[in-house]
Amino acid sequence: MKQGKASRQPPNGWNKYLTDYNEGLGLVYERFVLNDYLDRLVNRFQTRTVLEAPIFGMAGVSGINSVHLAQRGAAVTLVDENADRLSAIERIWGELGLQARFVCQSDLHQLPFPDHSFDLTWNWAALWYLGDPSTLLKELVRTSRQLIFIAMPNRVQVGYWMRKHLLERDFVNYVDEGWADIQRIKKALRSFGVRFLEEGVLDVPPWPDTVMPAAQVLKRLGIQSKKLDAQFTGKAWNWSTMDYYLGRRPELKARIDRYTFLEHAPLPWQIKAIWAHHRYVLGQVTGD
What are the boundaries of each domain within the chain? 15-285
Average pLDDT for 230-234: 54
CA–CA dist 216, 288 (Å, integer): 49
pLDDT tens across 126-178, in order? 999 998 999 999 999 999 999 999 999 998 888 777 777 666 667 777 788 89
pLDDT attached to residue 1 = 33
Amino acid at 219: K
Give CA torsion, residues 108, 113, 119, 123, to 10 deg: -10
pLDDT attached to residue 56 = 87
Amino acid at 101: R
CB atoms within 10 A of CB 53: 23
What is the DSSP annotation of 23-43?
A: --HHHHHHHHHHHHHHHHHHH
Q: Which residues contact 195 (CB under 8 A, 6 or more apart)?
A: 283, 284, 286
Domain 15-285 has CATH 3.50.50.60: no
For the ranges 36-50, 64-78, 204-218, the lowest mean pLDDT is seen at 204-218
For the ranges 73-77, 105-109, 206-210, 279-283, the lowest mean pLDDT is seen at 206-210
CB atoms within 10 A of CB 29: 25
Nearest to 148, CA basis, from 126, 127, 124, 121: 121
pLDDT attached to residue 12 = 61
Nearest to 209, CA basis, from 22, 23, 27: 27
pLDDT attached to residue 193 = 95
pTM to 2 decimals?
0.89
Average pLDDT for 256-276: 94
Strands 118-124 and 101-104: unpaired
